[in-house]
Amino acid sequence: MGTPVDPVPEVIRRALAEASDTPGYPLTAGTPALRAAIAAWVARACGAGVDGLGVLPTIGSKELVAWLPTLLGIGPGDVVVVPSIAYPTYEDGVRLAGATTVRADSLTAVGPTSRVRLVWVNSPGNPTGRVLPATHLRKVVDWARERGAVVASDECYLPLGWEAEPVSVLSPEVCGGSYDSVLAVHSLSKRSNLAGYRAGFVAGDPALVAELLKIRKHAGMIVPAPVQAAMVAALHDEEHADEQRERYRARRETLRTAFTAAGFTVEHSEAGLYLWLTRGEDCWETVDWLARRGILVAAGVFYGPGATQYVRAALTESDERISAVAARLSSR
């Protein structure tokens, strides 16, 4: 269903343990070592030159997604654009702020409104695995800047490109080398199996990051010091991330082959941690068909009204269980 099950790498567990004797309050902004590690990783993974003033650790990525509209001062009368098929927390965050959600994948579909304050993009997408090209992302950034809106890019699955190479909103070909009004949201939950640590970060416009930091200090949105130390170790070590990526690649191949042979169509899914599947029927019929075979998936309707004939299958089960899924599908 989407929860990581593989072990936390030893290098990260060791860093957490060594930092366990930290009786003082942690820094909301992150330790200098963490800010430097985030900036270095963003440079490698996103091609961006964001310095320590343009990064901020978060209590996982979901917390930031849910509270970003509120933290940006968005409220009643304002509009937030989210993908038409999307992670539900985008819309939940808009509701928390009392603003209005517009679901759209095309800027022309948003219309002439001047009330847009925030535009969410998600590439690779959850649940679809769709990768947005740099040209599309550049148009979104230009459009938002013309209207004084912020672009927040959820890039939690950026390292998991399979059939397409995802590009960050912080890439020069997208943002033009300027991070004004642009934020990228990242997580170590999938890359490093740290869902239980609640370890994420945001990077981009230093002015926006400074405003987020001010509010987060007062709101107590602080990543614990041992987790910050663990994040430093995770961000500096690529070996464990490469190993985990290979696990997911192999599981993806097994599941893709099995679902296709069982009559499913795989749409998008060129990157990320999921397969976006359909049998051309109501998603609850598909959920039931699979559940009767001991296979649990997420109903597409959870992600938007345009996904009523789809289900989402995650790559986050053990090799043994992934093999069991393939066997159950083949003996249908």
- The predicted pLDDT at position 331 comes to 83
Q: State the average pLDDT over residues 80-103.
A: 97
- The predicted pLDDT at position 112 comes to 76
User: What is the three-class DSSP state of 277?
Assistant: strand
Tokens of 201: 């970060």
Under a CB-based contact definition with an 8 Å cutoff, are residues 161 and 185 in contact? Answer: no
103-107, 198-202, 231-235, 257-261: least confidently modelled range: 103-107
Confidence category of residue 42, pLDDT binned at 50, 70, 90: very high
Under a CB-based contact definition with an 8 Å cutoff, are residues 7 and 193 in contact? Answer: yes
| Structural domains of the chain ordered from first start | 10-237 (3.40.640.10), 240-330 (3.90.1150.10)
Surface-to-core class of residue 111, CB atoms within 10 Å of its CB (0-12 exposed, 13-18 middle, 19+ buried): exposed
Alpha helix (H) ranges present in 47-133?
60-71, 89-97, 107-110
What average pLDDT is seen over the chain? 96
- The predicted pLDDT at position 109 comes to 83
- The predicted pLDDT at position 52 comes to 84
pLDDT in tens, 44-64: 999 999 988 899 999 999 999
The residue behind tokens 């999307």 is 86
Q: What percent of the chain has pLDDT over 70?
A: 100
Q: What share of the chain is helix, strand, coil (3-state, %, to 5)?
A: 45, 15, 40
pLDDT(9) > 70 = yes
Phi, psi of 265 (to 5 degrees): -105, 130
Question: Among 191, 124, 207, 137, which Cα is nearest to 163's?
Answer: 124
Cβ neighbours for 204, distance < 8 A, ≥ 6 positions apart: 50, 54, 169, 170, 179, 182, 183, 184
Sequence letter at residue 331:
S
Under a CB-based contact definition with an 8 Å cutoff, are residues 326 and 319 in contact? Answer: no
Q: State the average pLDDT over residues 190-200.
A: 96
pLDDT in tens, 224-236: 999 999 999 999 9
User: What is the three-class DSSP state of 54?
Assistant: helix
Confidence category of residue 332, pLDDT binned at 50, 70, 90: low
Sequence letter at residue 263:
G
Cβ neighbours for 153, distance < 8 A, ≥ 6 positions apart: 120, 121, 122, 123, 137, 168, 169, 170, 182, 183, 184, 185
In angstroms, the CA 50 to CA 254 distance is: 38
- The predicted pLDDT at position 110 comes to 85
